[in-house]
Amino acid sequence: MKIGGVHYRTIWRGEGGTAVCIIDQTKLPHEFETVWLETLGDAAQAIATMQVRGAPLIGITAAYGLCFALGEDASDKALDGACETLAATRPTAVNLRWALNEMRLALKPVAPAERAAAAYAKADRLADQDVETCRLIGHHGQKVIAEIAARKTSPVNILTHCNAGWLACVDWGTALSPIYQAHDAGVQVHVWVDETRPRNQGAALTAFELGAHGVPHTVIADNAGGHLMQHGQVDLCIVGCDRMTATGDAANKIGTYLKALAAKDNGVPFYVALPASTVDWTISDGVREITIEERSAAEVTHMTGLTENGEIVTVQVTAPGSHAANPAFDVTPARLVTGLMTERGVAPATREGLAQLFPGMAGDAAA
Ligand code: MRU
For the CA of 241, the nearest atom of ligand 1: 13
Which pLDDT band, with edges at 50, 70 and 90, does 15 fall under?
Answer: confident
The closest alpha carbon to 82, from 115, 126, 50, 111, belongs to 115
Cβ atoms of residues 351 and 247 within 8 Å: yes
| Interstrand relation of 279-280 and 217-220 (parallel, antiparallel or unpaired) | unpaired
Which pLDDT band, with edges at 50, 70 and 90, does 4 fall under?
Answer: confident
Give CA–CA dist 96/49, Å, rounded.
15
pLDDT for residue 363: 65
Q: What is the amino acid identity at position 136?
A: L
The CATH superfamily label for domain 152-366 reads: Translation initiation factor eif-2b; domain 2 (3.40.50.10470)
Q: Half-sphere exposure (CA, 13 Å, Cβ side) for 63?
A: 33
- Size of the chain in residues: 367
**Sequence-separated (6 or more) residues with CB below 8 Å from residue 241:** 55, 164, 174, 250, 251, 252, 272, 273, 274, 278
pLDDT at 286 over 60: yes
For 224-242, what is the mean pLDDT? 98
Q: Tell me which residues have their CB closer than 6 angstroms to ligand 1.
A: 53-56, 93, 162, 164, 168-169, 173-174, 201, 240-242, 252-253, 328
For 111-115, what is the mean pLDDT? 96
For 347-363, what is the mean pLDDT? 92
| R_g of the chain computed on alpha carbons | 20
Q: Half-sphere exposure (CA, 13 Å, Cβ side) for 34?
A: 13
Q: Which of 136, 237, 241, 244 to mutate to test the pocket of ligand 1 (most atoms within 8 A of CB)?
A: 241
pLDDT for residue 320: 94
pLDDT for residue 199: 97
Residue ranges per structural domain of the chain: 2-129, 152-366
Q: What is the amino acid identity at position 270?
A: F
For the CA of 328, the nearest atom of ligand 1: 1
For the CA of 58, the nearest atom of ligand 1: 4
pLDDT for residue 204: 98
Give CA–CA dist 226/233, Å, rounded.
10
Which pLDDT band, with edges at 50, 70 and 90, does 5 fall under?
Answer: confident
- For ligand 1, atom 10: residue with the closest CA: 240
pLDDT at 364 over 90: no
What does the pLDDT look like over 72-84, one tens digit per residue?
A: 999 999 999 999 9
Give CA–CA dist 245/318, Å, rounded.
36
Instruction: Give backbone dihedrals phi and psi of 236, rounded to 5 degrees, phi first.
Output: -165, 140
Average pLDDT in the chain: 96
pLDDT for residue 47: 98
What is 2-129's CATH number, 1.20.120.420, 1.10.490.20, 3.30.360.10, 3.30.300.30? 1.20.120.420
For 297-316, what is the mean pLDDT? 96
What does the pLDDT look like over 190-205, one tens digit per residue?
A: 999 999 999 999 999 9
Which pLDDT band, with edges at 50, 70 and 90, does 367 fall under?
Answer: very low
What does each C-alpha distance from 68 to 65, 121, 271 come to in angstroms? 5, 13, 37
Cβ atoms of residues 25 and 8 within 8 Å: no
pLDDT at 16 over 90: no
Cβ atoms of residues 244 and 331 within 8 Å: no
Percent of the chain with pLDDT strictly greater than 90? 95
pLDDT for residue 365: 56
pLDDT for residue 362: 75
For 282-309, what is the mean pLDDT? 97
pLDDT at 304 over 50: yes
Separation of CA 53 and ligand 1 centre (Å): 7
pLDDT at 37 over 50: yes
For 232-241, what is the mean pLDDT? 98
What residues act catalytically? 242
Separation of CA 17 and ligand 1 centre (Å): 29
End-to-end CA distance of the chain: 39
pLDDT for residue 277: 97
